[in-house]
Every structure is written in C-alpha cells, then in structure tokens.
Amino acid sequence: MQVDVVIVGAGPAGLCLARSLSGNGLAIRLIERQTLDKLTNPSLDGREIALTHASQQTLQSLDMWRHLQADEISPLRDAQVLNGSSPYALRILAATAGEERLGCLVPNQAIRRAAFAAVNDCPDVELLTGCTIEDLQCSRQVVALRLSDGQRINARLLVAADSRFSETRRRLGIGAHMEDFGKSMLVCRMSHERSHEQVAWEWFGYGQTLALLPLNGNHASAVLTLPPEEINEVMKLAPDAFARDMERRFERRLGRMELIGERHAYPLVGVYAQRFAGLRCALIGDAAVGMHPVTAHGFNFGLQSQKRLAEVLLDALREGRDIGDPAVLQQYARAQQRASWPLYQATSLLVRLYTDDRMPTRLLRNAGLRLAQNLPPFKAALARHLTQVSG
C-alpha cells in the first residue's frame, strides 16, 4: 500500500494532525494500538485539560469543538499560586488582560471523543486500529512499514504521536532527555461545600503539591502530588477516609469535600526529544515534548506542534515540493525547538524550586511569590500570554 502520511498514535495530537492535513489530496493512515471501540468511547482518565484561548480556537477550526457538550466545558476565570502555609497568593486575573476568563477546562476523555468524531468524518483518513508497527525502514525515497497485523505500507512521511514513551521515536533512533521527578500525581473529581469561584489553585505545600481545577458548580478536579509510595497509600483509602484526608490537605478552605468517581494516578516524567525530525519522519505531541503537568501546557503544546507541522507540510504541498524533503522537516523542527525549549526548561526549574522543602528554598519561594504579586505588569503579561489567540 502506498500512502502519503502515516501517523502513529490516534491520541489527541495524532487525531488533530490527521484533521489538519485532511482535505488536501493526501492519503493519510492513522495507526492506533487501541481498539476502535475504545477510540469511539474513550474511558475517563481523570485528566481535566486546561485549554488556552489559542487551543480553543484551534479546536474550533478543526471542527472538533462542536462535538463537545456544553456541560463538559468549565470556565477558568483566574488562577492563584500558593506557597506552604503562607496566606500570600500570586493571583493571575483574566480581567488584567481584558478578558472574562483565562481559558477553560475540558475532560481529556471529551477531547479524545470529539477529536475522533471529527476525524471519522474525513474520507481521506483511514484508521488502522488494534495494531502497531513491527518494523520500519526510513530511506531517502520512502518509509517502509510492517504492521503487527502483517500489512505493509510505504509512506512519504511518518509522524510519531504515540505518547511520551513513544516506541516509534525509539525505532527511529531518536533519543530523548527524560526527567523522572520521582513523584506521582493523583487526580480525581470532588464536590465541595464552598464555591471555588472558577479560580484554579496551584498550591506548593511542604511535602505535597496540590492543585484545584474548577469545574462547573461546586465540583473540582483535585490534584495531589506525592512520592509514589505515599500516593499508593492514598489510593487505597476508602472513599470517605480519602475525602476527609483531602479536606485536611486543603486545610478545609473549601469546606466539606466528597469524592466523585474513580481516582487515577500518573508517574511524573518529563520528556524532551533530541530531535523533532529525521529522515522522512517527524515527532509531535507528547512524543516530541512531554511536559510536567504543573503549567497545564502539555496538550496546548501538542496542539501547537501539530499545527506547526501541518502548516509547513501544506505550504510544501502548495509549492509542489516533497513533504518528506529534509529542508521542509527541518523548518518544522527549528520552529518546534524555538517554541518549546524555554517553557520546558522554565517548567522543570519551577518544579524543582517548588518541590524543594529546604528552608532557604522555602524563603526564596515566598519572596518570589511576593515579588511577582507586587509586579502588576508581570501578572498582566502572564494573563495576556494565556489568553492570546495567536498561540
């Protein structure tokens, strides 16, 4: 079989790229390990994705937004950063950027479902589910693939979008810098007595990190980061005991809390690929840059990476050039590097600073928040960064 583009991984990034490229005369194949049923009806994974205005606009332009139900979208008005028991909070207000909200929260499950629905409508995208790549050979002319179901495909371009632990990246011989933060993150939905007023919290406590993502009504996604052994213990608590434990961790600032549904735990590992393109191949989404979730930017970044790649490929196509031309792919790789490296580094630094509980660092953390809180131009710039639509 001869096709133009093979994308490995029908997660949010891979699906969005397929939709971005669709309608331009390209034959596109999406290879996904999960079954078709799992893609059509993705299960809840506890992740609530904070989408920037730019990401919302991209999802609208990809015809995915209309597949979301109104009650799946929760407005995120403001955000506050807290440090230990200090009453000081750095507040980032949407109003300082002239907006009503910084962004919105949408469950990852709903994004996956909406992205799948939009791609399912595309006649030029064929989904090959329940399979993976068994062998691949990249040459200057073609990428030759053998799939786990025995099919053979020749493609002009291969794109890896198969998660931060990408097997395809490895098969392509592209290394990655991995940073294991040595912590796990528990996420779950909770109801609470007092209103969160649509304000997100990032609370760097001593010995734990908490976050609260405001959903509609008096519901929120509670996020707890601890060493893996401690997360295992918290996961084992009975629902009621868990709710009391979370109430205590949140210092009862939200009143009584109750667990809704399941708890999910994730290991915290940051990944940055050594290259974003190679011989007739490119990386997007978490396979390119897998961010620590603290800045809530992973998927926002993934969306930008697929948009960046699609723009470069479609420009090449219009100019009659080969989409697997090294110069074309290097253009993407350079732009991706420029856009992602500063924020990836800043995020790692922030995580190291705010999870170090030694006394000098605690004082530095407090001083940093006070300084930032008293610098209105800095806060307004941060709010503008989150709300700008140009990405």
Ligand X SMILES: Cc1cc2nc3c(=O)[nH]c(=O)nc-3n(C[C@H](O)[C@H](O)[C@H](O)COP(=O)(O)OP(=O)(O)OC[C@H]3O[C@@H](n4cnc5c(N)ncnc54)[C@H](O)[C@@H]3O)c2cc1C
* Rounded (to 5) percent helix, strand, coil in the chain: 40, 30, 30
Task: Tell the smallest beta-carbon distance from residue 279 to ligand X (Å).
Answer: 19
146 lies in the site for ligand X, by CB under 6 A: no
Give me the residue label for tokens 């990401």.
55
Task: Tell the smallest beta-carbon distance from residue 90 to ligand X (Å).
Answer: 18
Task: Tell the smallest beta-carbon distance from residue 308 to ligand X (Å).
Answer: 14
Tell me the window of 47-55, 79-87, 310-318, 352-360 that interacts with ligand X (CB under 6 A). Answer: 47-55
Q: Which stretches of 227-325 are DSSP H helices?
A: 228-236, 239-249, 285-288, 298-318
State how far the alpha carbon of 180 is from the alpha carbons of 140, 184, 266, 286, in Å: 35, 10, 12, 15
32 lies in the site for ligand X, by CB under 6 A: yes
Task: Tell the smallest beta-carbon distance from residue 156 to ligand X (Å).
Answer: 20
Instruction: Scan residues 97-136 and list those touching ligand X (CB under 6 A).
Output: 108, 132
Tell me the window of 20-28, 29-37, 64-72, 337-345 that interacts with ligand X (CB under 6 A). Answer: 29-37
54 lies in the site for ligand X, by CB under 6 A: no
CB of 161 or CB of 282, closer to ligand X: 161
Q: How many residues bind ligand X (CB under 6 A)?
A: 32
Residue 211 parent element (H or E): strand 209-214
296 lies in the site for ligand X, by CB under 6 A: yes
Tell me the window of 3-11, 242-250, 273-281, 352-360 that interacts with ligand X (CB under 6 A). Answer: 3-11
297 lies in the site for ligand X, by CB under 6 A: yes
Task: Tell the smallest beta-carbon distance from residue 181 to ligand X (Å).
Answer: 12
Q: For the chain, how big is the Rg over CA atoms in Å?
A: 22
CB of 11 or CB of 324, closer to ligand X: 11
User: Smallest Cα–Cα separation from 4: which of 24, 20, 33?
Assistant: 24
Residue 281 parent element (H or E): strand 281-283
Distance of alpha carbon 214 from alpha carbon 150, whole angstroms: 47
Tell me the window of 138-146, 229-237, 299-307, 327-335 that interacts with ligand X (CB under 6 A). Answer: 299-307
DSSP 386: H
Q: Which stretches of 259-375 are DSSP H helices?
A: 285-288, 298-318, 326-354, 359-373
- DSSP characters over 98-157: T-S-SEEEEEHHHHHHHHHHHHHT-TTEEEEES--EEEEEE-SS-EEEEETTS-EEEEEE
User: Which residue in 254, 286, 309, 329 binds ligand X (CB under 6 A)?
Assistant: 286
User: Which residue in 74, 300, 336, 348 binds ligand X (CB under 6 A)?
Assistant: 300
CB of 219 or CB of 362, closer to ligand X: 219
244 lies in the site for ligand X, by CB under 6 A: no
357 lies in the site for ligand X, by CB under 6 A: no
User: Smallest Cα–Cα separation from 116: which of 22, 6, 24, 36?
Assistant: 36
User: Smallest Cα–Cα separation from 282: which of 3, 13, 1?
Assistant: 13
Instruction: Scan residues 172-191 and list those touching ligand X (CB under 6 A).
Output: 185, 187
49 lies in the site for ligand X, by CB under 6 A: yes
User: Which residue in 116, 299, 344, 354 binds ligand X (CB under 6 A)?
Assistant: 299
User: Smallest Cα–Cα separation from 164: which of 9, 287, 298?
Assistant: 287
User: Which residue in 103, 205, 293, 324 binds ligand X (CB under 6 A)?
Assistant: 293
CB of 33 or CB of 362, closer to ligand X: 33
162 lies in the site for ligand X, by CB under 6 A: yes
Q: Can you read off the two tokens belonging to residue 41? A: 């009806």
Beta carbons within 10 angstroms of residue 66's beta carbon: 10
Q: Which residue is nearest to ligand X (CB)?
A: 11
161 lies in the site for ligand X, by CB under 6 A: yes
Residue 380 parent element (H or E): helix 376-387
User: Which residue in 33, 91, 146, 362 binds ligand X (CB under 6 A)?
Assistant: 33
11 lies in the site for ligand X, by CB under 6 A: yes
Q: Write out the residues near ligand X by the rule CB under 6 A.
A: 8-14, 31-34, 47, 49-50, 108, 132, 161-163, 167, 185, 187, 266, 285-286, 293, 296-300, 302
